[in-house]
Structure 1
């Protein structure tokens, strides 16, 4: 008898696999590894920059919100496309999935070019807006002038990652990010110190690694390694193709945009009360926080493919089972990471800098940001669950809460009364209030899902959920 045919290493996973927990691990762990590698990549990049000087750390810190805004647009498009593609695959409509993915990949190119031109035209104004001081402005301006040319590459890479994940191929996404990371780490010391490019070398290393990653994705889609077939001729500029993805993705983009604005205000207040040391110290703490957030986001990305597929396949029981599993995994990690960061705050801070003042500020900021972090997993799973259901308004309202209608008002009130302590209090209260709201809505959403057994017609289930969402 012949054995079961060997599954190709980079073949997508079966999103209809009845072994749900195993499927989530197969999809989620490569996504966790990939985004964790990406976080480590940026962290090590910051360590190399820190070897140049504290002004260089402050320079890339004020550029960070601008890059986050670019990433926000790509992430919004990616989330919208991935959700639409997942639902189409779940509904056994691969042609619609191909058209949706192809349309947005083509759209990313002119969009990225327009953004590049805008950044180059207003780079000085943007840097002042995001808190650059006269001392670090030349460094930040030079760095931004180079990374502006990577905007289109960033958009395409983010979209490619989301599309591969949406068809159940988190493994390819992981290995691509690993290759990108390895190349960047090799190029960083060569370009920064070997060729003496300094801060510009860090930007050039990032761009070259992105080019390599996109080359890998070009081969992936050209050879049709996955189930999707992307081609420019499939692009369709119709409302029924654009609207579903944009409707889901827009709240994600707005959320990340608000995060960028909040970071700009945050760094401005940190610089006002503690100077460049305040900017660098808060920047280090936020980098450490991101290092913990990305694994949770990675696991939720892998799980989102399962959730969207289950919704498209009209299977509420599977949707509930996947959500519960994801909630346990992400919440467990959040508790462990947040606790470890608080306990090891000083050793962590000194990895990035040998300046005692910056390390002290970073360690204190790590405490106030990582205590409420233990609830981040619940908030993230609630958002992806609502996105999979197409409940964009509620998902958006939860997404914008922390950095929108909580953090920004707090930053404009508390520092006025308490100085830098008010900045730290704002960083604690915003995620804490978001956690309380998210836990309440998550409990209600899961109860709604439990109230619908698999025997209830999905049309009734969809109608009920839509009525409650509106």
Structure 2
């Protein structure tokens, strides 16, 4: 009965209302998550300096690797769980959930071991110069110790949305964000811990929300239940989750490789200063793309449920409405970044050199941002439908196939500007690829296929 109350609305309520109810909380939650990343960077920039921002930027690829595995478990698991719920297979959905928790525990053990063994060599490998290495180590050590909290919170947030419980999903994002914003100045300034204070504040915030999420599942507030027998790893379940979540893993992991390539080229053709500038721009970019990702995440459980329930017309209505919303959003963001780049930089720093160089770089980076929405939705759509191959192609395309080669090649001709130019070119190429894939599969996901029309004609004749 509980499962019916929680998830059946995905197949019955009006699509605009569903998309609004799931997307707006997701957007707000993603906004808050981006906000505390922004606040983190502001405190570090003003409290320690642009070198510290560069150190955190160098360390960020390590965090992205942790989040890549969590994304594979969370997004892949959410897709599988939403389809299980749509097919009325609640017990199997619980087994999927239990297996995800077990994998997260294994990831966490690896993270703790890594913090004591090869953290510093890894950061050097990722491009840390002698001047910024201490900041990178200070920031990442507490983060690695808290791997479980990050992985658990990130993965389960996607799973909560897969059962249609958007209200609690947004709470799991708001709670750590608010706590982090409160604790940052206490640890960075009050306790004079500098960069490490920012990391400790983040770990404590994620630990607090982990307790809240565990209570949600253990007290029966979810459509899913957590039982000991479901924690036993079944490789058939893990394989299905990983196959669907692999595009998310590839996207996050390739993001880590991309960051390493960008940092390396910025230092080679510029200086540590440009790494710090990119660290600021990256936070702004993260902030800008969050509304689009929020709409996409709101779309995914609706599409997944209705696809599992064979309600294809509702599925297609959801897809078209999502595309309209994200195109409008991406155009608004594009215009804002073209008109007010220096204003956004001044939020983070008062250094005229950083502001001027950062504003110039932002205009180039956001030059074709208005096409980003389509590629984001296409990737999420294929994940929601449990179609890993096209989702994987889209995940690979922007960062691995297009962006990283461009980042490595263009600076040889244009210097530091070549790094910035790589972004709009990669966005256009990714948009073209996403459009081709969507057009190819239009009879399945965008327009009514011939098989469906034949079935409807037979049903109308029999009645």
Q: What's the TM-score once normalised by structure 1's chain length? A: 0.92
Partner deviation per Cα, 1:390-440 (whole Å, 9 max, x = no partner): 220111011111110111211222111221122222122111211121122
Report deviation, 1:287: 1.3
Does the alignment pair 1:227 with 2:223? Answer: yes
Partner deviation per Cα, 1:56-105 (whole Å, 9 max, x = no partner): 11111111111111111101111110000000001011111111011111
SS at match of 2:270: helix
- The 3 A distance-change label for structure 1 pair 197 and 402 is same
RMSD: 1.8
Decide whether the 8 Å contact of 1:346 with 1:359 is kept in 2.
yes
What residue number does 2:162 align with?
Answer: 166
Map 1:331-346 → 2, pairs under 5 A: 331-346=327-342
What residue number does 2:195 align with?
Answer: 199
Does the alignment pair 1:430 with 2:435? Answer: no
Distance 2:431 2:263 in 1: 23
Does the alignment pair 1:36 with 2:31? Answer: yes
Decide whether the 8 Å contact of 1:320 with 1:446 is kept in 2.
no
Partner deviation per Cα, 1:316-358 (whole Å, 9 max, x = no partner): 2121111111111111111101210121100111111122222
Partner deviation per Cα, 1:143-178 (whole Å, 9 max, x = no partner): 111211111111111121011110001211112221
From 90, 97, 104, the equivalent of 2:93 is 97
Does the alignment pair 1:387 with 2:383? Answer: yes
Partner deviation per Cα, 1:223-253 (whole Å, 9 max, x = no partner): 1112111223223433432221111111221
Map 1:351-362 → 2, pairs under 5 A: 351-362=347-358
Report deviation, 1:447: 4.2
Does the alignment pair 1:249 with 2:245? Answer: yes
From 186, 195, 209, the equivalent of 2:205 is 209
Map 1:248-327 → 2, pairs under 5 A: 248-327=244-323
Decide whether the 8 Å contact of 2:269 with 2:411 is kept in 1.
no
Distance 1:298 1:25 in 2: 11
What residue number does 2:393 align with?
Answer: 397
Gaps of 5+ in 1: 1-6, 459-470
Decide whether the 8 Å contact of 1:80 with 1:246 is kept in 2.
yes
Distance 2:63 2:379 in 1: 23
SS at match of 2:222: coil
Decide whether the 8 Å contact of 1:282 with 1:361 is kept in 2.
no
Report deviation, 1:457: 5.5
Decide whether the 8 Å contact of 1:306 with 1:322 is kept in 2.
yes
Distance 1:327 1:59 in 2: 37
Does the alignment pair 1:47 with 2:47? Answer: no
Distance 1:301 1:231 in 2: 27
Distance 1:89 1:50 in 2: 46
- The 3 A distance-change label for structure 1 pair 456 and 286 is farther
From 7, 16, 19, the equivalent of 1:21 is 16
From 133, 151, 160, the equivalent of 2:147 is 151
SS at match of 1:204: helix
Report deviation, 1:442: 2.1
Gaps of 5+ in 2: 457-463
Report deviation, 1:187: 0.7
From 428, 443, 449, the equivalent of 1:452 is 449
Q: What's the TM-score once normalised by structure 2's chain length? A: 0.93
Distance 1:67 1:239 in 2: 26
- The 3 A distance-change label for structure 1 pair 283 and 17 is same
